[in-house]
Amino acid sequence: MVVASIGNLNFDLYLRISELPGPDENVEALDLYTGGGGSAANFAVAVARMGLGARFIGAVGDDPLGEISLRELRSEGVDVTFVKRVRGMRSGVVVVLVHPDGVKRMLSHRGANLGLTPADLTVDKFSGVRHIHLATGRTELILRAKEIAREIGATVSVDGGTALARKGLEIVKAAVEGVDVVFMNHVEAKLLANTGDHKSAIERLARELRAGELVITLGPIGAVAFKEGKLLQVDAFKVNAVDTTGAGDSFAAAYIAMYLEGRDLYEKLLFANAAAAIKVTRPGARSSPRRDEVVSFLESFGYKI
């Protein structure tokens, strides 16, 4: 079973810091490490580790960082055959500032990622694909992918991030209408619903968004899902967070793995929460767990999947 992921591929530079520098001030970094990033690419790696076929569709520049990023995806078993090379542009780069408690701040240069257009999404690139995941806030890509999904009979999920939430509720409603699973975190939900309370945000979005399943992650609280009038919250596992970068992508990949198995809401949320919990105990956006690790983690708490 093949899952295609559409969106950004970045080269991430992580700096672990104890505090943010002020104007004209220097702060010594406690640690530095690098790795692949980009929400769609992170998802592709995470879903491959769930034992599914993974295909990434995005764009890189004609520079060494682009080739390094592609090589890393290939090493994880991700199909990068249809990645676009954009001449004259640098590949995407993100600088991630990580505090000791795992909270992150990011500075992004999208670069060649913006070179991916709806015209690049052609049906032939989705041969054999069962599910399409869009980790992008670009509505033109979401709408085109929905057309392809209808044509090939695939299901669709969207994780548009802050970029999509900032476009406003009416635009988001049109973009995700008919989508099978919509993911967002509680910050994006509150922004989209124009409220400071995540509970009222969930209630409004559950009414407004015409999607099969709405899934909102609540950080250390857990996650909530809404489907066919049913609202379910499952608590998070208590762990010592090292780096939350990519936790949402790990969560989404685990959720989709369970979704494609036909699991119920509780099983999907439980499994996804466990995957995210394991991920945040490890540095880097691509440190998502393999399926057997999630199963063992759940078994240690007495759960059977």
Q: Tell me whether residue 86 is in a domain.
A: yes
Q: Tell me whether residue 200 is in a domain.
A: yes
Q: Tell me whether residue 305 is in a domain.
A: no
Tokens of 90: 């640098």
At residue 20 the predicted structure's pLDDT band, cuts being 50, 70 and 90, is: confident
pTM beyond 0.85: the answer is yes
Q: Worst-scoring range by mean pLDDT, 76-85, 120-129, 246-255, 281-290?
A: 281-290
Q: Mean pLDDT in the chain? A: 95
Q: Which residue in this structure is represented by tokens 């099978």?
A: 180
Tokens of 183: 């993911």
- Quote the pLDDT of residue 245: 85
At residue 257 the predicted structure's pLDDT band, cuts being 50, 70 and 90, is: very high
pLDDT digits (tens, 9 = 90+) for 91-135: 999 998 988 877 788 899 999 999 999 999 999 999 999 999 999
* pLDDT of residue 284 exceeding 90: no
The CATH number of residue 282's host domain is 3.40.1190.20
Q: CA 17 to CA 3: how far, in whole Å?
A: 36
The total number of structural domains that make up the chain: 1
Structural domain of residue 223, as residue ranges? 2-22+29-300
- Quote the pLDDT of residue 234: 98
Q: Tell me whether residue 248 is in a domain.
A: yes
pLDDT digits (tens, 9 = 90+) for 29-45: 999 988 889 999 999 99
Cβ-count burial 129-159 (b if 16+ within 10 Å, e if not): bbbbbbbbbbbebbebbbebbeeeebbbbbb
At residue 305 the predicted structure's pLDDT band, cuts being 50, 70 and 90, is: confident
Three-state secondary-structure class, residue 242: coil
